[in-house]
Amino acid sequence: MPDIGKTIIALCMFGTFTFGVFAGVQWGRAGIARIEADWAAERARLAGETNAALERVREFERAGEALAARLFETERAREALGEEKDREISRLSTGRPCLSVPVTRLLNDRAAAGAVPAPAQRTARAAAGAAADPDVRWATDADVALWARHAQEQYDTCRARIAALNSFFSTAARVME
């Protein structure tokens, strides 16, 4: 009988081992299936987040392009109006000296504190006067009017660009919410 006991023990051990292997394989398969399911869910989540981020970038691009187009049109209209104003200033101005030689020299001296840029352009009358006497550097009424018009145009351009930036970042803030 001792051989039967050993056989029974061997069969029990073999059964336990076989059950353990079978259970381990099943548990391993379940673990792998769970990991694969988690990985697929994570890939889907990341794909969704990536697509959402990509759509936000596209929306930023569309908003930026629309703002750039509006800004371009605004600047073109401002330039056309500026050219018309330049023609009218030339037509309406008399070319008489408006700022004396010392004042004009002070304004044109870039080394001076708070230097003002030279007038944008000289009228034909001012150029003729300067050609007659090269030391005369007075500014005509047309020079002053053109300088003021150009300063106003630069200010308006800057203001429009800042408004466009504010609009873009307002759009960006709404998209990011």
Is 165 in a helix, a strand, or coil?
helix
Query: Per residue in 18-37, pLDDT tens?
Result: 877 777 777 777 777 788 88
> Looking at residue 169, what is its pLDDT?
84
Q: Show the domain range for 59.
A: 2-176
Number of domains present in the structure of the chain: 1
| 173 vs 115, more confident | 173
Q: Which of 82, 71, 49 is nearest to 57 (CA)?
A: 49
Give me the chain's average pLDDT, please: 79
Query: Which of the four pLDDT bands, split at 50, 70 and 90, describes residue 121?
Result: very low
CA dist., res. 22 & res. 30, Å (int): 12
Is the separation of the CB atoms in 95 and 140 below 8 Å? yes
Residue 73's pLDDT is: 92
Q: Which is more confident, 44 or 123?
A: 44
pLDDT of res. 95: 84
Give 1-18 pLDDT, tens digit per residue.
557 777 777 778 888 878
Per-residue pLDDT averaged across 42-53, rounded?
92
Can you give the pTM of this predicted structure?
A: 0.54
